Amino acid sequence: MAAFVAVLTALVGLIVLALGLPIGFVGVVGIGLIIYAVVSYYVSTSVVLSISGAHEVTKEEEWEFVRRVENLAIGSGLPMPRTWVLEDSAPNAFATGRDPQHAHVVATRGLLDKLEPIEIEAVVAHELSHIGNYDIRIMTLATVLVGLVALISDFFLRWSFLGAGGRRDSKDKGGGGLALVIIALAILAAILAPIIAQALKFGISRQREYLADASGALLCRHPEALARALEKISSDPEPLEAANKATAHLYISNPLKEHASFLNNLFDTHPPIEERIRLLRSM
């Protein structure tokens, strides 16, 4: 998270210099970014749930699923989260929200239909662990910060491509060489910063998945059930239609199922499933 702030500060500083603005303008930009981040933080959960297409369910509608969430929430000492079902035949699940008091657990229809009861309970334990470990808050903040970096980079690149950089340089005859260097560095930062921010976000996501696996196994007292659930979810051939790159990191298993490569591993939202299963079975 500190690296996120460093990347964002360096990006804003270079762009302010490239625009020829006083360095104190960084503070003005900072205030605007804080306001944007706070608003994004509070609306992000509603956006995620809307994008997923899930619908909220009660105990009367999905008695088995909601009862398991309720029992595990009591066992973990967490407030009862709101429960949702995503009508998709691919098995998967995720948790979202700002904190345990505003948490949501979402399961796909495929998860409820294809997994055994003890495996469903293990998946729910994993998602409740994300809530209890405040992973939902960490990943919401990470997503907001990535969005800020992308927004600022996009603004500056558009400004540069429109020729504003050349006009700024032509007005600064005395330090034209330095101005060109600053503008070049700012353009480079605007290109690289979103890539670095995404890599940081996915690195955080992978570490939190390992932690949720361990905490979930402790909560449900059945690491083998969680290992079997991960095997079934990852090997299921059906794609999750509602998943996209913005929400993939939330799911218990990567719903995009991209081909393995160095770059894909660098930007993968989850640790290797084989390693997660191996660690669970070593408990």
The residues assigned a catalytic role are: 127
CA Rg value for the chain: 22
Which residues have CB under 8 Å from 223's CB, separation 6+?
217, 280, 281, 283
Residue 97 token pair = 């929200």
Measured CA to CA, the distance from residue 87 to residue 108 in angstroms comes to 6
Residue 105 phi/psi, 5-degree rounding, is: -115, 125
DSSP 64-116: HHHHHHHHHHHHHTPPPPEEEEE--SS--EEEEESSGGGEEEEEEHHHHHHS-
Q: What does DSSP assign to residue 263? A: H
Residue 48 token pair = 């995620």
Measured CA to CA, the distance from residue 270 to residue 253 in angstroms comes to 7
Which residues have CB under 8 Å from 129's CB, separation 6+?
76, 135, 211, 212, 215, 216, 219
